[in-house]
Structure 1
Amino acid sequence: MPKIVYGTSLRFTVNRLGWMTKDTAQKLDQNPRTDSRCSHDREAVSGVAVRTESRQRRRGLVQLAGEGGSPLGRRVRWVEAWPPPVGVDVRQVYGIVFDSVSGAVVVQDDNGRYNLPGGTPEPEDNADLVATLRREVHEESQLVLADWAPVGYQLVSENGRAPYVQVRYAALLEKAYPIAPDPSTGRAYGRVLLSPVDAAGLLGWGERGAAQLAAAAR
């Protein structure tokens, strides 16, 4: 079986075998009953769903405001280093979460708007970024993490405002519970599994997003 091989430093080696191929996806799209494990374009893997490439094309790739494109006066720079600068506010903690069986990345699906699981630090986290990561991925996407390591951060500058940081962790998925509403918003988010390359394309964050997914997969 394809596996993620990791050591104490959690430098991931991703085996890309085992993901649904483009040809297989097209066949399933044309005849969803050809494989009893699949429902149209989804296949169950470790409690998460795999969305095929053809389905993505039909729905279109949606850029998230503030990630893929930058509003006027907003500058975002990806930094593959750790830790973030001292004294700079951390406003976001996202996880690039790998499925341990397929090596694929979990992407959050909010009715066609795609994001990484994660969220905002809260006082209950006591300035512990890992606590924020574990809490948010569980609240939003019902994921339990087996292990994690920092990948880097985005340094965001806006006109007339102090810069802030959005951090990224690579993490290994231990378990995915059934989808449920986020307790803070009442909204339930879908989950899809994609290769790091396809996840970067679906997120629509451009070269900066591709660099983050590539760094997490190394």
Structure 2
Amino acid sequence: MTTTSTPDERPSVAMRAEAYGALRASHALWVGTSVLITNQRGQVLLQRVTYRPTRLLPGGAVDLGESPAQGAAREVEEELGVTAAVTRGLAVDWVSPTGRTTPSAMQFPGEVLHVFDGGVWDEEQIAAIRPAPGEIDAVEFVEPADLPALMAPGDARRALSALRARIAGSAPAFLEDGLPIAPTVLDRAGALRTARARHHFPFHPGPAPEQLSVVQAWGWLLAPDGRALVLLEPDTGAACLPGGTPEPHDRGNPLVTLRRETREEAAAEFGEPLFLGHLSDPGKPYGRLRYAAPLTRLGPPPVDPATGRTHIRALATPEQALELFDWGPPAAGQLAAVHQARARLGIPRAARQPLTELPDAADLTIS
């Protein structure tokens, strides 16, 4: 069969293999790979490289005949001196020809860039890092909110989208110039684009000493599937648990504070609570109380009188919720207390799954 098709024509049944191959080659894109690694505080590993003023995730070009996952593992070994298994994809980004600033001589055609999950590294793994001499000047872990200031705009958008996909427990995110084409609730809220509040307060499972002044009462409100209610600020993406600061009409009762704040922030009601413990503030006579309780009802999302904003309400596993906070090492003790209370309440442990945004229901009973 003959054909006059050229690489500028659309493919047809009459096109010869040679012409079809030339057509596809004329549309070829670069293929790249990168790896998202965090420490136990949820900070992201970035590299300072010798050839760019902005920071990068570990990664690079995929070699001829190499899969993106193979390329990711190779780049981690070459750049960080660490052997790591790379099996889970977090994002695939189509970087358009105008989505990256490159020298005109490169004739950048666009790129398909894969982001893989490098996992959470402990102190031993971090100590084993040996940056490639002559290429990697330094390695640092930075807060997610600092990524836009340290990376090129597209790189920062891609890294944040990949991190949100990992926390959300969703399928890999498909991106165009770093922006998801199907945003999750974390993307819509802009989670992690502003600094997480740093609260590394020691957690104590026992009652708060009487001399401490209670300045906060927060609750882990657990749905029947074991996930907790998390509130996201609509304009900053900041995450918090339901609860707040005592007011005079609470009569010094922290449970009154918790129920009032939960209604005001989330229009939520909860059943009989269990006391988890308190956080102490070193050097100050303050206590922050923590409770766990079954979530029983949701009303229409209210305007929070304290902020004038309406929170985005979502269900997340306790582990996912902690990834949205910067509570430091004491968070492990609080998480253990949450699961002990969950078991006492007869609520199952939630499997990791995508975060669920709760509907703007007129009145929703949780059962």
Give the TM-score category using the shorter length.
0.5 to 0.7
Deviations 1:135-192 (A, max 9, x none): 111111211112211100001024xxx4210000011100111212112331211112
1:15-54 superposed matches below 5 A: 25-26=170-171, 29-30=173-174, 40=182, 51=185
Match of 1:188 in 2: 310
- Normalising by structure 2, what TM-score? 0.41
Q: Decide which structure has greater strand share.
A: 1
Q: Secondary structure at the match of 2:272?
A: strand
- State the alpha-carbon separation in 2 of the partners of residues 107 and 199 from structure 1: 7
In 2 relative to 1, CA 26–131 (structure 1 residues): closer, same or farther, beyond 3 Å?
same
- Residue type matched to 2:274 in 1? A
- Give, as a single letter, the amino acid of the residue that structure 2 aligns with 1:26: A
Q: Residue type matched to 2:270 in 1?
A: L
SS of aligned partner of 1:203:
coil
| Structure 2 CA distance for aligned equivalents of residues 178 and 92 of structure 1 | 25
Matching residue of 1:6: none
For the residue of structure 1 that corresponds to 2:202, the secondary structure is: strand
What displacement does 1:92 show? 0.4
Aligned residue identity for 2:324: L
Equivalent residue for 1:197? 319
Q: 1:147 aligns with which of 255, 272, 279?
A: 272
Specify the structure having the higher radius of gyration (Cα): 2
1:114-193 superposed matches below 5 A = 114-158=239-283, 162-193=284-315
1:91 aligns with 2:252: no
Which residue does the alignment assign to 1:107? 230
Which of 1 and 2 has higher RCO (CA within 8 Å, sep 6+)?
A: 1
**TM-score, length-scaled by structure 1:** 0.67
| Aligned residues: CA RMSD | 3.0
- Segments of 4+ in structure 1 off by > 6 A? 21-24
Counterpart contact for 1:63–1:205, Cα < 8 Å = no
Classify the secondary structure of the residue corresponding to 1:180.
coil
1:35-70 deviation digits (Å, cap 9, x = unpaired): xxxxx566xxxxxxxx47xx59x84476533425xx
Say how many residue pairs are matched. Answer: 168
- Contact 2:196–2:324 (CA<8 Å) still a contact in 1? no
Contact 2:216–2:288 (8 Å) recurs in 1? yes
Contiguous gaps of at least 5 residues in structure 1: 1-20, 31-39, 43-50, 69-75
202-211 or 108-117, which deviates more:
202-211
In the superposition, relative to structure 1, how do residues 180 and 117 fare at CA in structure 2: closer, same or farther (>3 Å)? same
Query: CA separation in 2, counterparts of 1:194 and 1:118?
Result: 17
Return the letter of the residue paired with 1:106.
L
Structure 2 gap segments, 5+ residues each:
1-165, 175-181, 341-367
